[in-house]
Amino acid sequence: MTKSVVLADPRGFCAGVDRAILTVQTILKAAQSAGKLHREDGLPPVYVRRQIVHNKHVVEDLANQGAVFVQELGEVPDAAAQAGIPVVFSAHGVSPVVKAEAERRGMHVVDATCPLVGKVHREVLRFVKEGYEIVYIGHKGHDEAVGVVGESPEHVHLIEHADDVTSLEFAPDTKLVLLSQTTLSVDETADTIAALKARFPWIEEPPSSDICYATSNRQAAVKLVAEQSDCVVIVGSANSSNSVRLMEVAQEGLGQRGKAYRVDDAGELAPAWFDGVESVGISSGASVPDELVSGVIEALRDLGFTGVKSVETIKENMHFVLPPQVRALAK
């Protein structure tokens, strides 16, 4: 029997990641065309706050092209604002405190926050204005969660799992609504929502789920892939929430039959994982370039997995326009 790989489709880049990377690339290209990639004043053509998307290969690639990544705006010199150097905010969004600092220092901000993350920020503002307390399901310390909670720290109550629901206390006359991070596990979040509804039956939900289309679609596809595989490899970085969730969903689908692994690239594969395995499922997080998946497929071919089959669950056609400041540059 031919040993094979089972490829999830959709996988990899989502519209928000595509937009964020293209934003930085467009700024770099424009600087190159203007002969300003290597400036006389020693400043870079663009600063990016935090990883533009959570993938180390993407970040390294853009850094090699001239982008400078910083953790905080304090690392960007004042001279950058005076010289008109753009500062890009990552796809995960930022809290109002960061925006205020950028404004105070006269920075030229290009906001590459994914519009679907922006939607959750706007929901927070709207519900707080209407007098709600917000239970936000997310991961403590994740850039997206930090940004969303930062919209109204006193009214947004972050919980991670169903077990955390017991730590919440609200009087029965409190207006309550639940929101969530865009990259959570659909199934795990359903459990947390059920626990919330059991404890606070009057809690409301937003008009549409905050878990984004790309997260839901990739999890649905990897579930099917896991059913047809003996083990699953997810390509994605350790700090990528949606990649880690994909690995968890795959593991759940495999059950006792096999194991799900996460790798940044083919270099992290261990041949021993595939002893006795006939079919390997593969998917990748929303921030992962497809050439990294191709590298994994090639490495598996060298290990005897010569067949390739694709499991397609849905065709995606989502596209987001570039931030206004870079649209003109793109032309």
Closer residue to ligand SF4, CB minimum distance, 118 or 307: 118
- In whole angstroms, how close is the CB of 287 to ligand SF4 at the nearest point? 8
Residues 138-177 contacting ligand SF4, CB under 6 A:
none
Binding mask 235-254 for ligand SF4 (x = CB under 6 A): -------x------------
What residues are designated binding site? Answer: 14, 54, 92, 114, 142, 182, 212, 240-242, 287
Stretch that binds ligand SF4, among 29-37, 110-118, 145-153, 194-202 (CB under 6 A): 110-118
Closer residue to ligand SF4, CB minimum distance, 4 or 182: 182
Q: How far apart are CA 209 and CA 86, in angstroms?
A: 33
The residue sitting closest to ligand SF4, measured at its beta carbon, is 16
Taking alpha carbons only, the member of 12, 25, 92 closest to residue 52 is 92
Taking alpha carbons only, the member of 183, 209, 189, 185 closest to residue 114 is 183
What residues are designated binding site for dimethylallyl diphosphate? Answer: 54, 92, 142, 240-242, 287
Of the listed 72, 144, 151, 252, which one is catalytic? 144
- Which of 6, 7, 8, 15 forms a contact with ligand SF4 (CB under 6 A)? 15
The alpha carbon dihedral of 285, 288, 292, 297 has a sign of positive
Q: Does 120 bind ligand SF4 (CB under 6 A)?
A: no
Closer residue to ligand SF4, CB minimum distance, 23 or 183: 183
Tokens of 224: 């099917």
Closer residue to ligand SF4, CB minimum distance, 59 or 280: 59
Binding mask 210-229 for ligand SF4 (x = CB under 6 A): --x-xx--------------
Q: How far apart are CA 218 and CA 205, in angstroms?
A: 23
The alpha carbon dihedral of 291, 294, 300, 304 has a sign of negative
Stretch that binds ligand SF4, among 3-11, 109-117, 219-227, 245-253 (CB under 6 A): 109-117
Q: How far apart are CA 253 and CA 173, in angstroms?
A: 41
Q: How far apart are CA 137 and CA 159, in angstroms?
A: 5
Q: Does 114 bind ligand SF4 (CB under 6 A)?
A: yes
Closer residue to ligand SF4, CB minimum distance, 16 or 45: 16
Binding mask 173-192 for ligand SF4 (x = CB under 6 A): ---------xx---------
- In whole angstroms, how close is the CB of 83 to ligand SF4 at the nearest point? 30
130 is catalytic: no
Q: Is 268 helix (H, G, I), strand (E, B) or coil?
A: helix
Taking alpha carbons only, the member of 269, 201, 209, 205 closest to residue 235 is 269
Q: How many residues at the interface with ligand SF4, by CB under 6 A? A: 15
Q: Does 16 bind ligand SF4 (CB under 6 A)?
A: yes
Taking alpha carbons only, the member of 261, 266, 294 closest to residue 280 is 261
Taking alpha carbons only, the member of 264, 222, 228 closest to residue 245 is 222
C-beta separation of 105 from 73 below 8 A: yes
- Which of 46, 52, 91, 222 forms a contact with ligand SF4 (CB under 6 A)? 91
Closer residue to ligand SF4, CB minimum distance, 26 or 242: 242
Cα dihedral 286, 141, 23, 42, rounded to 10, equals: -130
Q: Is 200 helix (H, G, I), strand (E, B) or coil?
A: coil
C-beta separation of 26 from 328 below 8 A: no
Residues serving a catalytic function are 144
Q: What is the binding site for ligand SF4 (CB under 6 A)?
A: 14-17, 91, 114, 116-117, 182-183, 212, 214-215, 242, 286
